[in-house]
Amino acid sequence: MANRVPIRTTSSALIAMIADEDTITGFLLAGVGNVDLRRTTNYLIVDSKTTVKQIEDAFKEFTTREDIAIVLISQYVANMIRFLVDSYNKPIPAILEIPSKDHPYDPAHDSVLSRVKYLFSTESVASGRR
Amino acid sequence: MESSKNGRESNEEISEKDENILSFLDSMDTYLTLMDSLSSTLRQGWLELASARHSMGASRINSTLLDLKFHRASTTLQVNEQSAGPDRELPHFTLRKWASSNNPEKNFEEAKFGEDELLKIKSNSLRRRDTSQSSEIQARSPESVGTPVSVDDLAQRERSKSLSMFGTLVSPKLRASQVSFETGTVATLFI
């Protein structure tokens, strides 16, 4: 009971996005975009001029905001901050790696499948030792 | 006697573990299938967006036109707790599409009045790090509280509002792209 992480409940949480221009444009057309009074958005457009530091800062900001429930991040962008994404372990906001226009989905780099692979390889090592 | 009883218990434990592993592998298969579905939906959306850009011109569809004035998201999520065992809880997401973003109080009333209009798709989160849960997807059909016509109008109004950042007259491809990305948003929730 002491280790239970409380789930933050909310009635109107946002979907944040860190992706390329076309993906962001598309999801904004779907009504996901939010701009608050301080002109803070729930998305970051990643292009050739975007630095890794900017992506890291955006990821950290979106994962600590209380009004965000899901963070969509393009897989190739997640690869740039792989250490940060893999070390993230909270249930909310949930992180989902999505494909991008120029970089199709690669199961080998998916963090969920990587953990599954590690789990099974550990188990196979453990069973081999018995 | 005791050793056979212990043997039976260990067999039961092993079969329970096998069941858990099979269930886990089924979840992984579902995850990969949904990711594939999301990829194809997004691909369609990108293609339609590119077609719209080709017909309307690159200057009419780009990130500089994105609305940076204060506005709330029309598509939001409701997050609740769902019990998954004695000491475990999972987040439970409900998608709310095309709620009015203008007036929050009015939005609340309209949500009560037109809660039927917002298609609620409930799913269990798959992003728990242990990835051992399978997702159940329910689509609840709207309850009729208000007149359906006015509620559909609301959704159409919000859709038009999203499209308006690219001008009054937009290509049908852009509208198609909007629908594709709406479907993609729903698909992300399923995942």
* Cβ atoms < 10 Å from Cβ of A124: 10
Does residue B159 register a pLDDT over 50?
yes
User: Which residue is listed with tokens 């709310």?
Assistant: B96
The conformational region for residue B57 under phi > 0 = left, psi -120 to 50 = alpha, else beta, is left
User: Coil, strand or helix: which one is B165?
Assistant: helix
**Which residue in the set B42, B70, B73 is minimally distant from A99, CB to CB?**
B42
The answer to whether the CB atoms of B46 and A92 lie below 8 A apart is no
Using 50, 70 and 90 to split pLDDT, how confident is the model at B79? confident
Spatial separation of the C-alpha atoms in residues B76 and B153, rounded to whole Å: 19
Spatial separation of the C-alpha atoms in residues B142 and B137, rounded to whole Å: 16
User: Coil, strand or helix: which one is B151?
Assistant: helix
Q: What are the beta bridge partners of residue A45?
A: A19
Task: Locate A125 and state its tokens.
Answer: 């090592």
**Which residue in the set B28, B77, B159 is minimally distant from A13, CB to CB?**
B77
Which residues from B are below 8 Å from A23, CB to CB? 42, 46
Spatial separation of the C-alpha atoms in residues A4 and A9, rounded to whole Å: 15
Q: Which amino acid is at A128?
A: G
The answer to whether the CB atoms of B158 and A31 lie below 8 A apart is yes
Nearest CA distance, A82 vs chain B (angstrom):
15
pLDDT of residue A62: 94
The answer to whether the CB atoms of B127 and A72 lie below 8 A apart is no
Does residue A20 register a pLDDT over 50?
yes
Q: Which comes out higher in pLDDT, residue A95 or B142? A: A95
**Longest C-alpha distance within chain B, in Å?**
83
The answer to whether the CB atoms of A13 and B96 lie below 8 A apart is no
Interface probe for A, chosen from B69, B75, B173 (most Cβ of A below 10 Å), is B75
Which residue of A lies nearest to B97 if distances are taken between CA atoms? A31
The answer to whether the CB atoms of A15 and B77 lie below 8 A apart is yes
**Which residue in the set A34, A39, A101 is minimally distant from B46, CB to CB?**
A101
- Asked whether this complex has an ipTM greater than 0.85, the answer is no
Nearest CA distance, B46 vs chain A (angstrom):
7
User: Coil, strand or helix: which one is B95?
Assistant: strand
Q: Which secondary-structure segment (H or E) carries B99?
A: none
Task: Locate B90 and state its tokens.
Answer: 């999972």
What are the tens digits of pLDDT across the range A27-39? 988 888 888 888 8
What are the tens digits of pLDDT across the range A45-54? 999 999 999 9
Task: Estimate the crossing angle of helix A21-29 against helix B2-56, to 10 degrees.
Answer: 90
What are the tens digits of pLDDT across the range B39-56? 999 999 999 989 988 888
Task: Locate B92 and state its tokens.
Answer: 């439970």
With b for 16 or more beta-carbon neighbours within 10 A and e for fewer, the B24-53 pattern comes to beebeebbeebbeebbebbebbbebbebbb
What pTM was estimated for this model as a whole?
Answer: 0.74
pLDDT of residue B60: 72
- Chain centroid to Cα A112, Å, comes to 11
Q: What are the beta bridge partners of residue B93?
A: B79, B123
